[in-house]
A and B are shown apart, each in its own frame.
Chain A
């Protein structure tokens, strides 16, 4: 038994004007200060005003939002009593919005109690609109909520199928001016979602096609979005991120996410940069463990894939090529982490990665020793041979 969950996805040029038609009284916009500065918040407020909806803004979301931030957001919601929560921004803002919404509906819960085993009984007070402004996380289409436990120096994978947004507005206008670095980071996040969604142990017939399409869109359009920033490429990447979100969100992520989450928590590396860096290494590791599906992806992309091993090698090589074209680091060393810093953090890196929920859905699960070797190979930039 498994499920397929999806918001109503409104996409393409002028998708934002869909807000003019929604019915409601008050909306709390959960976002960050950048979104305010870029006037994105004002655009959303303008459309909500057209619909006769009052607004209040909670713009305190930080990158990798903490448990404390979402508690403050929930307090703001409880004080304002909105009937819509709007998550506007990148993955951090949308994840924070999901958590704020749950805690507003269920003030009896602690953030780390938001789990699939609870019947949350949402949508008694409000519904959720997610509006991505980057093209990567796919958080507008997934139920996952990633929050940071600042005390424990780790990320918590939370969420419930109930907290999938009601509406996702995928309007390329928000990605039109994405800076190249952010385009690359978030684009690699989308690619990692799609590759891992297609190859994890929870893959399924409903998610596979979405993942393959997203992979194709990323390879076809990310370089152009990064190098030239042209409109069509950006729109395709915006769509790719949401499609990848639907794909992996209804399957799971896997090993690149577990090692990437841990790197992000210990060394504060942006999520997409971290998981993208690890993706080729984890492909090389996982394919040595038995039945995988990398050759299917490689064949879909027209890469050499006579055997599973050749397909995996082609795919890893194509991803490393893409990373280089995007000016992305391909080793931990290139992230500016010194050897001494790396060695000091290695035990924590391994401990976090082993206990990340994405580790268990890898079709080959590393032992602690193998996790350590994976990190060492990624630090040095050696292709994985174990």
Chain B
């Protein structure tokens, strides 16, 4: 499915809710996210995913039209190519943050205390059949 679609983020939410490993790793996690995909190549407009993560559960996920709609605890943004590397497990998201290939607004230390949850979230991304723009 198209990476930049509402269908994709909902599929990720479903994978998260089916993952015992994620539920265990993120059992203490409290905080929703904007995952912001910045335009690159054929992609012309910014795409924003909202994901509500709470104690190992994905309580909801959808494509957002207007960034002002929500005020999530974390906002993680990157160009499409960087997100692709993360989803394909070619870029460790923590390494991506440290090299600022991924940009974060929010408390990094909360993420550093929950690195296992971040890793399981990426594992779930790899389970979603994904097509990137131009493929």
B-binding residues in A (CB < 8 A)? 1-3, 112-113, 115-118, 154, 156-158, 201-202, 354-357, 359-361, 365, 367-368
Contacts and interface: CB of A to CB of B under 8 A. Distances in A.
B101 interface: yes
B83 to A, nearest CB: 15
Among B100, B108, B118, residue most surrounded by chain A Cβ atoms (within 10 Å)? B108
A117 B104 contact: yes
A112 B97 CA distance: 16
Contacts of B98: 116-117
B112 interface: yes
B109 A202 contact: no
Contacts of B100: 116-117
Nearest to A112: B109
B103 interface: yes
B101 A117 contact: no
Interface string B87-117: 0000010110111110110011100111111
Contact of B92 (A1, A157, A201, A354): A201
B24 interface: yes
B114 A355 contact: yes
B57 to A, nearest CB: 18
B112 A115 contact: yes
Interface size class of B (residues with CB under 8 A): 20 to 34
Nearest to B102: A117
Given A1-B101, A112-B109, A113-B107, A354 B95 contact: no
Interface in B115-133: 115-119
Given A118-B108, A156-B109, A367-B21, 6 more contacts: A112-B107, A113-B107, A113-B108, A116-B100, A355-B115, A360-B116
Contacts of A367: 21
A91 to B, nearest CB: 19
B92 A360 contact: yes
Given A112-B109, A116-B98, A365 B119 contact: yes
A156 B103 CA distance: 21
Contact of B115 (A112, A154, A158, A357): A357
A360 B109 contact: no
Given A117-B104, A368-B24, A360 B113 contact: no
Contacts of A117: 97-98, 100, 103-104, 108
Contact of A156 (B97, B112, B117): B112
A115 B100 CA distance: 11
B25 interface: yes
Contact of A357 (B25, B94, B104): B94
7 contacts: A112-B109, A117-B98, A117-B108, A355-B113, A360-B115, A360-B116, A360-B119
